[in-house]
Amino acid sequence: MKKEFVVIGLGRFGGSIVNELIALKADVMAIDISPERVEEFAQIATTAVAADTTDESALRSLGIRNFEHVVVAIGENIQASILTTLILKEVGVKKITVKAQNDYHEKVLRKIGADQVVHPERDMGKRIANNMVSNNILDYLELSDEYSIVEIRANEKIAGSTLIDLDIRAKYGVNIVAIKRQTQILVSPQAIEEIELNDILIVIGSDVDIHTFERKALH
């Protein structure tokens, strides 16, 4: 069965989620208060509906509670974002992801039961900054305020060494959970695995430990 999702708010962020979900062959109901925005997505989304999602009866009449996962991508109007989330929670939507504008907004969203709160601009900023300070860090995914998963390119300094030689876990407190080697992915690589030049190491650990590893082992 196809997964069915709802995206509320068809700005750049919500719009890009709709496009991607459709590309991934999911069913998407796209909702916006603006008829022009809805018109834009009429040919793209599975269904596109003009509605004010702060109106509980409008949301109920769309059968919103039957959908698997709802994304609230209303940005600037924080009040509408909070009220919409509250109604979704009340009608019993299983999973709700909300875009937050700032930390206060996030705090309220978490209090009222949003399952996932995202800050696309802040998170993207962090990823880009991490790529900027280190040429070896290719990508960065924040797990919490302190922990992350990063992709680090293996350079000449570590190519030819095995994981035992490097003793990364004991020395730096980080773990290599997988290695991308051209089209191959080695999940949970063995200690005797020899790192090759340009392997991409998927490393998990605290931000401090990851940066120490990157600074000391690769330079």
- Contact set with ligand ATP (CB under 6 A): 8-14, 31-34, 37, 52-54, 73-77, 80
Minimum CB distance to ligand ATP smaller for 51 or for 204: 51
Under 8 Å between Cβ of 174 and 213 = yes
Shortest Å, Cβ 38 to ligand ATP: 9
Shortest Å, Cβ 130 to ligand ATP: 22
Three-class SS string for the chain?
A: CCCEEEEECCCHHHHHHHHHHHHCCCEEEEEECCHHHHHHHCCCCCEEEECCCCCHHHHHHCCHHHCCEEEECCCCCHHHHHHHHHHHHHHCCCEEEEECCCHHHHHHHHHCCCCEEECHHHHHHHHHHHHHHCCCEEEEEECCCCEEEEEEECCCCCCCCEHHHHCHHHHHCCEEEEEEECCEEEECCCCCCECCCCCEEEEEEEHHHHHHHHHHHCC
Minimum CB distance to ligand ATP smaller for 45 or for 201: 45
Shortest Å, Cβ 165 to ligand ATP: 47
Residue nearest to ligand ATP (CB): 75
Shortest Å, Cβ 170 to ligand ATP: 44
Shortest Å, Cβ 3 to ligand ATP: 22
Minimum CB distance to ligand ATP smaller for 74 or for 152: 74
Minimum CB distance to ligand ATP smaller for 10 or for 96: 10
Minimum CB distance to ligand ATP smaller for 75 or for 205: 75
